[in-house]
């Protein structure tokens, strides 16, 4: 089956610094790459997504970049705040709208 590798599994940054999480995928036909944020005890929330016809997308402090040649995409969070602490999941569209998820990154923002 399809596979998404996500790194790092844990990430700790100082408040105000940037955080970067990377994912690689294997299916060259994948064309949709969402990122979800999951706070403790809550549902995963879609925070940003990118489709294969663009290389970068930005929404305030969050940005996602996509390199289709290398089959990897990354989440960038700038000016991190304590409320950014959560588990982040990348995913890719395997076709028929099915999502395959990465293993998750636990992000901790230290005040």
Partner 1 sequence: SAVISQKPSRDICQRGTSLTIQCQVDSQVTMMFWYRQQPGQSLTLIATANQGSEATYESGFVIDKFPISRPNLTFSTLTVSNMSPEDSSIYLCSVEDINEQYFGPGTRLTVT
Chain contacts with partner 1 (rule: CB under 8 A): 1, 32, 34, 36, 42-46, 49, 89, 96-104
CB of 45 to partner 1, least distance (A): 8
CB of 15 to partner 1, least distance (A): 25
Of 77 and 90, the one with the shorter C-beta distance to partner 1 is 90
Of 49 and 78, the one with the shorter C-beta distance to partner 1 is 49
Dist CA 57 CA 74 (whole Å):
11
Dist CA 108 CA 111 (whole Å):
10
Where in 69-110 does DSSP place strands (E)? 72-77, 86-95, 98-101, 105-110
């Amino acid at each position: 089956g399809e596979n998404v590798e996500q790194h790092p599994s844990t990430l700790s940054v100082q408040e105000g610094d940037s955080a970067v999480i990377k994912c690689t995928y294997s299916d060259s036909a994948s064309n949709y790459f969402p990122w979800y944020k999951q706070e403790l005890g809550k549902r995963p929330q879609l925070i940003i997504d990118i489709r294969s016809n663009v290389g970068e997308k930005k929404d305030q402090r969050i940005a996602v970049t996509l390199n289709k040649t290398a089959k990897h995409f990354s989440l960038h969070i700038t000016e991190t705040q304590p409320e950014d602490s959560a588990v982040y999941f990348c995913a890719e569209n395997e076709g028929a709208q099915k999502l395959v998820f990465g293993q998750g990154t636990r992000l901790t923002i230290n005040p």
